[in-house]
Structure 1
Amino acid sequence: MRVRFAPSPTGLLHLGNARTAIVNWLAARQAGGIFLLRIDDTDIERSRPELALTIDADLAWLGLDVDERAVQSQRTAVYERHFAGLAAGDRLYPAYETPEELAAMRQRLKDKNLPPRYDRTSLRLAAADRQRLEAEGRKPHWRLRLSDRRIDFVDRVRGPQRIDLRHLSDPVLRRADGSFTYTFASVVDDLDLGVTEVIRGEDHLTNTAVQIDLMEALGGRPPDFGHLPLILDAGGQKVSKRLGAATLADLREQGVEPLAILQVLAALGTGRPACAEATLAELVAGFDLAAFGTAQPRLATADIARHSAAVLHHLDFVSVQARLEGMGLAGLDQPFWNAIRANLERLEDAGLWWSICQEPLQPVIEDSAYLATAANLLGQSSSVEAWLDALKEASGRKGKALFHPLRLALTARERGPDLGTLLALMGKDRAVMRLRGQVA
């Protein structure tokens, strides 16, 4: 199996892009195949080289290793060769309409409630007419004359599909400036790079028939296709770059765990809940493209953030140790991690609890007399349980009235690990000083 993820460097990757990458990567890894990253930068005006680098960085952050990499702007010679071969036949023809003329043609068809299909005016031009237009300074773009037939294929997500090419416009393969379009470059690359399976969003479904026709015109064998339903946000809008969808860069900045994104997007649309304990290897083993339905799933960024916290609560110390050291928390060891992880929303919060337990803190004193009693009893007690029992008896308190003032004095926080765990992390001497209202 050879699959490809083919983003355009015209914006940052969002969750829809990430899902396509994840599904392709999982399919390749499960089959022992090749995961190809192809940078589709045929849109010269909008493509930005620096965004191609962010795509590499985003995939690396997710843990999706790339086996092969191709950049369309570096493959012009390949496209020239295939274009020349196609031009030797009878399927290409020059077209001379300007963008304004094409827009007017589409509007006329729209006004008549007709599909905006190119009417092949240029295909019917006589040689003398073409010569006249070129003498006037018009440079042709080149279209593929689509076959007069229906295309049948079995989509690996959506099942049997039939698309009538007679209802579609002949696609432009080469622009008037000589550059190649996405349609042509993508098809040539899929054939030339040996892609065996194309898994992408359902917005490319109609394109598939055109691409199959072009592949066969080039003498190639089309790959299998699978089209995933598009992701909707919480408001029911399609997730897209142009509508300001949350990007992977946004989520990384918010402290979302990459494993959480993998788990959520691998399960989205399958009817299975995302499992916060699933490892990357388990996601590979459990992957099944046939499990994806055709309904458009909804996904809110807040759902990913909540799932990310659950993932963090299950991560072992080894998996986060290097990142903690990179945050300057080299002294944070496994017992400390095990004690605090269930109270974290982001890994960065570990630094807060390290500071609370290991660095001077101004306690919040809610009841100084009660806390003074607590400090005296803590100094005399052999265990946390004995201390709390003695404090209950001495104060007559229980529940929140017993614990809340202690937590505020010890941590200056409303919530956190249980008091026994906190005392073990900060030490009895520091705890006694804070209970007495001292910075410690």
Structure 2
Amino acid sequence: MGILAFLVVLLVPLSGLSYPGHAALALLVFAIVMWASETVNLAVTSIMIMFLLPLLGIESFSNAAVGFANPIIFLMIGGFILAEAIRKSGLAKRFTYFLLSKLGTSPSMSLFAAIFSTGILSAWIENVVAFAMLLPIIKEIIPLMGVKDAEKGNSNFAKAMVLGASYGSLAGGFGTEIGTAPNLMAAAYTHLPFANWMVFGFPLAIVMLFVIWKTLQWVFPPEVEGIVGGKETLTNTLSKLGSINRTEKITAVILFFTIGLWVTTGITGLDSYSVALIGAALYFITGVIDWKDAQKNIDWGLIIFFGGALALGAALLNTGAANYLIHDAIGMLGGNPSTLIIMLLLMVVAVIFTQVMSNIALSAILVPIAVTLASAQGQPVGIYAVPVAIACSLSFMFPMADPTVAMAYGTGYVNIKEILKAGVPMVVIGIILTIIVLLTIAVPFLG
């Protein structure tokens, strides 16, 4: 099917688009079909992309390989190492039992904790980091509910938990200008004050987190009733764990130090990617983990998959294919469309493209267009740029859309069809909520 889809797109005439751009679009369709159908492992499709890019004359291999040098790859590696250190030290287990003893033993409250923990964190630090910190805790909670072999994809509760943490990290990023890279791009062009963004961003994020909580329980009704043995299990286990030991203390100190560096990047001048590697290195230096632990627990297939997806996204950008499709879509507006129609179309375009290409690159294309349209209409400068930035983070539908969704998929708890099943309604609701919030409470704060 993937090969057939590739040939069909390649044979359809596209006036105004160069051959490399045309071939890049055909390769995009091939990749989507292969990834969505899971005919082969996702990493295998990415390997195919890497040799097809130069073979088809789209880009040289040197340019294609730049996808694997993207800083997000190293953030993912650092996140995996941090998560393994938190798990191996026992800190994740201790925190899990403590958290559940306070929140209760029901699957609903466990899901609430997963979603809101990553949501609140990701307003201030990278989504990947927030998710990576919570992943080992989620892996501790799932078996407590009596779930066995969740990696075989047999548990609705496990699916909801891992997607909840991923989606929570994405929605939480809506809350501040520094929450996601597209937000920063919109802020750079609109010059909106930080507080202005929070006036509409935080309410939107909180409402979306509640929507995620309720929707996932509807899409994946939990098959478990609560922690086996109830609160007595939690109390007994916490008692057996005893006082916090030296390794856990070291792990906690390094973790809080790393979080501190992430929160203060604006002061220190460090970037989030470097901070992730600093934290990872400290865990090696102090002996909390060794390289064998990291080697065993980093999902290298996921790294290859994401690197290939980034390479394809860059090719769409470099060949002009992305610009071609986006400008065609905007050209469909014609006449003098309303603010609502323009906002809706820009968000739909952003949502479609953010599933298959870097949201940073996408926002770099769409935000300037959005600002120009607003200026031409005499509208507030952020009226289109802000919803475009938020739409670039509605990356709920495919693993290649966002590293957190890729990492959720990598657990084995959930497959691509199930991610689509949960992600499509999230995207639709996200678009509707964003438009409602922006056209009601946000307009006075959009510049």
TM exceeding 0.5: no
Q: Normalising by the residue count of structure 1, what TM-score does the alignment of the two structures yield? A: 0.20
Q: Normalising by the residue count of structure 2, what TM-score does the alignment of the two structures yield? A: 0.19
Which structure is larger by alpha-carbon Rg, 1 or 2? Answer: 1
Higher strand share: 1
